[in-house]
Amino acid sequence: EAQVTQNPRYLITVTGKKLTVTCSQNMNHEYMSWYRQDPGLGLRQIYYSMNVEVTDKGDVPEGYKVSRKEKRNFPLILESPSPNQTSLYFCASSLGRGANTGELFFGEGSRLTVL
């Protein structure tokens, strides 16, 4: 089954404690991206990756890091989380280019609370 898998789904942590949210897709997609969803703001892009070892900042990258060492994995790293990073996070993947661009496949989300 084609899917994007995120872990953990729920996490409560404290300010400054490093954490990683993993994302894996099994569709051989080149493009992967992280979004955060906050009430009334829709989805905002944090980082994206067009292919292995190719990553770039989205609209709200501050406080986040990513890596793309393998095609299927795209972890999101919060080196020193702060309360304003409390949010619902989504990983998504896509073919990236061509007619199907825009057809994003989303994970089920990771709800992060930073105390």
Partner 1 sequence: AQSVTQLDSHVSVSEGTPVLLRCNYSSSYSPSLFWYVQHPNKGLQLLLKYTSAATLVKGINGFEAEFKKSETSFHLTKPSAHMSDAAEYFCVVRLLSGSARQLTFGSGTQLTVLP
Question: Which residues would be at the binding site for partner 1 (CB under 8 A)?
Answer: 4, 31, 33, 35, 40-45, 48, 50, 56, 58, 90, 92, 94-97, 99, 101-104, 106-109
Per-residue HEC secondary structure of 70-85 comes to CCCECCEEECCCCHHH
Cβ nearer to partner 1, comparing 35 with 85: 35
Cβ burial of 14 (10 Å; 0-12, 13-18, 19+) is exposed
Least CB distance from residue 81 to partner 1, whole Å? 22
- Choose between 33 and 85: whose C-beta lies nearer to partner 1: 33
Report which secondary-structure segment, H or E, holds 7.
strand 4-7
Q: Which is nearer to partner 1, 14 or 54 (CB)?
A: 54
**Residue 50 Cβ, how far from partner 1 at the closest point, in Å?**
7
SS3 22: strand
Nearer to partner 1, 15 or 26 (CB): 26
Q: Least CB distance from residue 57 to partner 1, whole Å?
A: 11
Identify the CA nearest to 4 among candidates 20, 28, 36: 28
Whether the link from the prior residue into 83 is cis, omega within 30° of 0, is: no
Report, in Å, the least distance between residue 96 CB and partner 1: 5
